Structure 1
Amino acid sequence: MKEKTLDIFRKIAPDVMGTIRERYLLLRQISDAEPVGRRTLATLSGLSERVVRAHVDVLRRSGLVRFTAMGITLEPEGKRLMPELLECFLRLNNLEDMQQRICTALQLEDVYVVPGDCDSDETAREEMGRQAALLLNDLLTPDRIVAISGGSTMAEVAHCLPESNTGSVVVPARGGIGNHVEFQANYIAANVAEKIHGTYRMVHIPDGMSPSALKLMLQSDEQARENVALAQKAHIVVFGIGRADVMAKRRGLSASECQTLLSKQACGESLGCYCSLPGEIVHVTNNVGISLKDIKQHPHVIAVSGGAAKAEAILAVMRACHTGILVTDEGAAKKILTML
């Protein structure tokens, strides 16, 4: 009945749907950043200050937000309604239908699509992180090993993870790349472990080492061997997805390797594996830890990535992955559906 009512509203008042969308996103941004000023809200939402002022005045009169000297905050009633508002918002934007169609087409365990496009809306990235964190939290038990990859989206997952006493063991899924410490898998694993009062292991092996150097390092470092073996036994794997061209540059691939990726039409990368749009793994970097090739041996898999610019990459990797849960955003989902 709810769904039928919402369909009727969409048909007879499509202009109202835009207003509802804007007000929901403002509430979401207030919830994430409170107390927050109208000017900041205008910057975050991309709306004019005049439109923001009109919306928040209505929300204030409805008892959902209040104005303070520090900025705008949610009233208790606003906080209580947020889960219900999200459910309605998903229906209004046909996100449930998107989720089901992508899930069926890619034969995944489940798909979660959050509102917005993280290419232009940071709130969408935060919402993806929150959704993935909730999924991870539901899977945590003291006897489980969690492996998590690096990247800004994984850092958001760690940030959004609720504190608990599950005490799981957390390990990086792969060796490190890049110069941003806060996006390194080791650092993110440590943050997750701190949130859940668990323990963590580190893998101090950079990505892209030669096979001989990698073999020598593993032979001479017993702790590294143990930590890599632990990652390969992980019960839960959480990873991000990147564009092949961006990740090739970040990993410092040689000119010949980049040419190989180009010739084989690689468009997505995850866990050291470069994939073409049909889901074929066309190149694998030399590293230790978890590989997309063996991902099905892990009972619980959560992939998190969004933005329309990454749609091809997400589709390529999830076709290769062919298992687990995908958390993405509306921008990527719409483009994925056009390609499917």
Structure 2
Amino acid sequence: MKMKWPWLTILLLQSMTASAYECASIDWQGGNADINVNISSDVSTGKNRIVDLAPQITCKNTAGQGGWIDTMWLANDGVKLNSSIFKNLKYGVTISGTDHLAPVSETKIFDLDNGESRQLPVVLYFELTSLGEEIHIKAGDNLGSIRFVQTNNHGDRRDYTWTFFAANDADINTSTCSVLSGSTFNVNLGQIERGDIVSGGTSSQTIVKDFNIICDAAHAVDFDVKMSLVSPSWNNKAIKTSNDNLGVEMLWNGQAVSNGASQRLSVTNGSATVPLSFTPVKPASLSFEDVSTGAFTASATLILTQY
């Protein structure tokens, strides 16, 4: 591109391979390229990243002198996703923090002066506008492509396409689920009679409350449900309260739940309901008179992990 040769035919042959512009980590020095990228399975409603090129690819103007400025562009309608994988989902590209929904018009990415290098600030994304579908990606799958244009201040212009392939397997579930009671599941045990407090199981003071979850997927959605709690020293299946001699046992479908215990929850036909029961309990060695009166509080956390 910058070298002078005595014969035009030799100059044309050299221009096929020589470049003063290259991108590290993919060993790119011009022309079309196949690039392996890591895929994340984490998704949410709205925009989701497929590929973030900035941490993976850095481009550099390798000209040593002469005032060369290289400019990188996204080509007109230059973003394509593999429709056999991503189906009818909307998609686009984010350039330096600005979103461009496909089809994208020609857009400048950056300028590079002599010797300057920059991470490639390009992110491929899709939008969850068609919920309930599953996306299965295998290592080696063709994800899509980006067409770039490289120009410089000496009038050169080059077009090339980077085709992206998955470097890992990724199963992406685009459904969304929500707990009907919200992020906080409040249980009011009401007025408790000390004489009726038991040391385990259920009692006349047991409160039953349904745990409801809904999903917008047509297929079954499976969860691992884990309880995170602090237990009193005298009962490892109870939730510790602000009253030292009072705890609360929670039963999931009739089974006592301890810290770290996992349950499987499958949401079919769009919803699932699990009865939870809450029972105030005391140490078996103590009489009810040893339980202090007054208000008390307790808390625990249910962790739902979709798989």
Give the TM-score category using the shorter length: under 0.3
Q: Based on CA coordinates, which of the two structures has the bigger radius of gyration?
A: 2
Larger strand share, 1 or 2:
2
- TM-score with structure 1 length normalisation? 0.19
Larger helix share, 1 or 2:
1
